[in-house]
Amino acid sequence: MNIQIATVCDYAADYQGKLCIQGAFDTLCAQNFPVVHPQCSIAIRVVFQPDDTGKHEFVIRCVDPEGRECLPPTPPIHLEVKFPSQFIPFVSRNVVYSMQHLKFERQGLHRWLVQHHNNTVASIPLRVTLFDDRRATSGPAG
């Protein structure tokens, strides 16, 4: 199993096996805290090899700068991996999890942890920071 893509974005969808991602980002700028982000998605594309045939379970967790869970984890995401032919070298599956009204209590480096059977297989950084007028011309990443 290989995580090909793991990102936080404004919007994502699985469109007939294609992973459509709009507005991938890694920084949220706030005027003050706590801050509520109206909507975003986690988009993940996983590539499986024939040895990965079977059932897979993923959970996505968000942890704060101290590594404490700061948002409720996703419900378990179940994927069934089958290979219809011995001539297919790999199969891919997309996971899209959309969220609304995410509340971040304070600034710092948060992380979305993608866990497969309780093992972290991807970590997506999300910098939550105060808006700085000096960065306005260069974008939120500074």
The pLDDT, as a whole number, for residue 22 is 98
Contacts of 43 (CB under 8 A, 6+ apart): 5, 6, 7, 8, 9, 12, 19, 21, 24, 94, 95, 96
The pLDDT, as a whole number, for residue 85 is 87
State the CB neighbour count (10 A cutoff) for residue 43.
25
The pLDDT, as a whole number, for residue 84 is 85
What's the average model confidence in pLDDT over 125-138?
77
The pLDDT, as a whole number, for residue 86 is 86
The answer as to whether 122 is a domain residue is yes
The answer as to whether 140 is a domain residue is no
- pLDDT tens-digit readout, 35-91: 999 999 999 999 999 999 999 999 999 999 999 999 999 999 999 999 988 899 999
The answer as to whether 124 is a domain residue is yes
Q: What percent of the chain has pLDDT over 70?
A: 93
70: containing domain? 2-135
CATH number at residue 42: 2.60.40.3880
- Averaged pLDDT score across all residues of the chain: 92
Whether 142 has a pLDDT exceeding 70, the answer reads no
Q: How many domains does the chain have?
A: 1
The answer as to whether 39 is a domain residue is yes
The answer as to whether 142 is a domain residue is no
Alpha helices in 71-121 (DSSP H): none
The answer as to whether 33 is a domain residue is yes
The pLDDT, as a whole number, for residue 136 is 54
The answer as to whether 141 is a domain residue is no
The answer as to whether 26 is a domain residue is yes
* Residue 34: cis peptide before it, omega within 30 degrees of 0: yes
Contacts of 65 (CB under 8 A, 6+ apart): 108, 109, 110
